[in-house]
Chain A
Amino acid sequence: MKMDPYKILKEKFGYTSFRPGQQEIIQSILNDEDVVAIMPTGMGKSLCYQIPGYLLPHTVLIISPLLSLMQDQVEQLKKMGEKRVVALNSFLSVQEKQQLLNQLEYYKFIFLSPEMLMQEQVKMKLQNIPISLLVADEAHCISQWGYDFRPDYLRLGEWVHKTNRPPILALTATATQEVMSDIQLHLKMQEPTLHIQSLDRPNIRYAAIEVESPELKFDLISKQIASFSGPGILYTQSRRKADEYARNLSDNGIRIASYHAGMEQVDRMFVQQQFLQNEIDWVCATNAFGMGVHKDDVRQVIHDHFPSSVANYAQEVGRAGRDGADSLSTLYYTKDDENHSIFVAINDFPEEAHVNIFEQATLNGLSPNQLVSQGILSENHVRILAYWSSRKTTEDTIEMLDNLKRQKMHQIYQMKDILTNPICIRQQIIQIFGQQLLEQPENCCSKCGLNMDVIVSSSVLSARHLVLSSWEDRLSKIFPGFLSNEA
């Protein structure tokens, strides 16, 4: 078989060139090497296993700890016309799972959550189908030094053998020494080839701006949106706020819609579609927005709060400038915002008292649902506690939750520190992910000196605002060309 990744890139995916790093990674995989690949999020890492998938004879098995990410990748492949793609995760009913398992060998791309890999029948089935490549996506989750440690992921190591196994591709956007060596150790990788891209996104410029009051914050954000052009995403912390911003800003003539998990799924699709087709210039969203939104020309990302970690911040601002053109990321904050972010992060997080209530109630035969319906614990409490109670002792659970809480708070302090101390924002972000900044662009960030006018163009108020059409017009737009044929 002639192996031509470029041909696949063009024919299957419709691109004419690779992004930095992709070609080298693909070549290593085709050479049967184990690979650790480090790339910034959103810069085309899925292509690194999708293309080999079409060149290798058998199945590609992708372990993915983030359900929403998994879903998005499945949808992307399906959209490309690939039918042999499937996701095995906890959303499936028993029957659905059984049905998929029965015909598992049919699939070219199998996505698995780490906990699925531990189920006996899944394990058995996977041992009996030929696999060409094993992909560990978001591989930093396997390391307790990573910012998003998933204990279940560790068990992947029990599953892979040292020899007689397909090559492994570990993908991540974290390059610290500890994480890298954990990945190699737990996945039992054989002298893997390292492909390390710079995690810096030089075309994104960072600004952190302190304001006196929440009212002033809104005014300044409105002003920035009115004066500098989109497309842009305004990230906020609550659904109510997202709706409010969207209403107020659209009263000011901005083409904006809100987006959050409280909206109907179809409404969310509509907002994505409007944004992709430039019918709106701004989306005002909670952190639910971004996954699955493949828009390359986002020029601005604005935050009105401190995200819960530098990793989340990097991911959200990373949605800007995927086309490589200059883009601006601005974060507005007041002195109190740090406390508010901490409150949001740990408000609904179970503490020692909750653990004890849960244990006691379970002993007395109360079901988790009863605890929620009687208002004793929140749904979130029960979800977390039910998971851990079957895996850890009470003491261990309490200790672990306490650690997690500290960690969450620490991540917010770190976030705030990076944005408010006098050091370059860019440099600090990539240091957290284990790299050093080699080159600093002009207009780097608000601390190094930033002239926004150079980075983003001034805004042009669009004349085309949402106007409802008559239903006849609307139908003939959906079915163009039939109107003239009517008798």
Chain B
Amino acid sequence: MLFQQIILHMVNRLNGERTISAPFHLLRGKRSGQTIQDVKSYGFTRYFSLTPKLSKKTYDHTIQMMIQSGLIIVDGNSVPHITKPGIETLQRLPELKLNGWLYRGNERIFFQRLSLVTQTLSQIIAGNMAFDPVQKDEKVQNWVRNYLKKWPFRSEEFIRNYYYELKTAFQTSDLSHLHLSILSHRLSGFEVSGVTWQQLSHALKEDEMDLQIRFCECLHILLDEIYLNPRLTLLNSLSEGIKTSTPLTDSAKKTADLYEQGYTFEQIMSSRQLKSSTIEDHFVEMAMNDPSFSIQLFFPDENTYRLIEQIRNQQTKKLRTLKEAYPLYSYFQLRLLLAVGGDSHEDGSI
């Protein structure tokens, strides 16, 4: 139900201005100009990359179920609209402490590290070093190997400190019973097997998908806590590189760097061998994320403040509608205006 409520939340805010695939791309954390603009314009930072492995099949199936139970309708242009029962269901959406835009799926890497370090230390206590690592990804294994080597990781003192840090972090008030139940059963150790999603779903009488969303929320809360509490030395080190240091996508970051060095739009295009539409996407991203970025460059003879104000007062974020109202401006210009002025409801409202 939680998953459906989240989709309802997005459908409601999208206000009939995007097709049914917009929430899908956003949930999967797609790094495209359109999706990234949606994140900002419609206030979806929390949901970005919530379910990176969501398959089209599962998503379509969920949408079908939502249509069947009358929560949404999808019109002939594949645009979803929320219904009255949909609004009622949406109103029961609990407050979620997700921060997808900040962690962008990296919380999963954090968990891989956490689970492998935990398993290894548990095996060390038992004096058993011949075990099957629970994480098979060699990158993660190497990372953990180097991490552990920084400390006398076989000493009782180190393991005790790690254990206490875990306990301390788990006690942060934002983590619920459900969060901790999921998290602690996804960890494993010597003669302590982990519990599969199917088994958790059976035991907790909750949907697998909803549990995974709660798990993601749990990791976000945990990471927030770790970054806020410098005394959690070992966990801070374990979270290295998990938080996004720049809000830009990697490719947009490169464009931004060139722009800062004084390259023009055209020079960036030719030096990066990219299409102008791609570079446009990057500038929109920069406009959206960097408060010091000025879009004046693209409006040589205009008062952009006045334009932004006008755009903000329009009851739509749909480009085509805006283009009809402002035929003299290019789509790129309109997107820039939206990017700067569109950040209107990043709050708890539905």
A binding-site residues for B, Cβ under 8 Å: 75, 79-81, 243, 246-247, 250, 257-258, 263-267, 269-274, 277, 279, 466-472, 474-475, 477-482, 485
Contact = CB atoms under 8 A, between A and B. Distances in A.
Most A CB contacts (10 A, CB to CB) among B163, B181, B196 go to: B196
Interface in B127-164: 129-132, 134-137, 159-160, 163
Contact of B180 (A258, A272, A471): A471
A357 B203 CA distance: 49
Most B CB contacts (10 A, CB to CB) among A243, A267, A467, A471 go to: A471
B187 A271 contact: no
25 contacts: A79-B130, A79-B131, A243-B198, A257-B199, A258-B198, A263-B196, A263-B197, A265-B137, A266-B194, A277-B191, A466-B195, A467-B203, A468-B195, A468-B200, A471-B181, A471-B184, A474-B187, A474-B192, A475-B170, A475-B187, A478-B118, A478-B188, A479-B121, A479-B189, A482-B160
B115 A468 contact: no
Please classify the interface of chain B as helix (H, G, I), strand (E, B), loop, or mixed, using the class held by over half of its residues. helix
A187 to B, nearest CB: 32
Nearest to B159: A479
Contacts, number: 102
A244 B187 CA distance: 26
Interface of B: 115, 118, 121-122, 125-126, 129-132, 134-137, 159-160, 163, 166-167, 170, 180-181, 183-200, 202-204
Contact of A257 (B121, B131, B196): B196
B116 to A, nearest CB: 10
B140 to A, nearest CB: 11
B215 to A, nearest CB: 11
A273 B185 CA distance: 13
B75 to A, nearest CB: 24
- 7 nearest A-B residue pairs (beta carbon): A478-B189, A471-B184, A471-B180, A270-B194, A474-B184, A273-B193, A267-B196
Contacts of B196: 257, 263, 267, 270-271
A481 B125 contact: yes
A265 B188 contact: no
A144 B83 CA distance: 63
Contacts of B131: 79
B130 A80 contact: yes
Given A466-B203, A482-B160, A270 B188 contact: yes
B194 to A, nearest CB: 4
A247 B135 CA distance: 26
Contacts of B194: 266, 269-270, 273
Given A471-B180, A479-B163, A482-B160, A279 B188 contact: no
Contacts of B167: 472, 475
A274 B135 contact: no
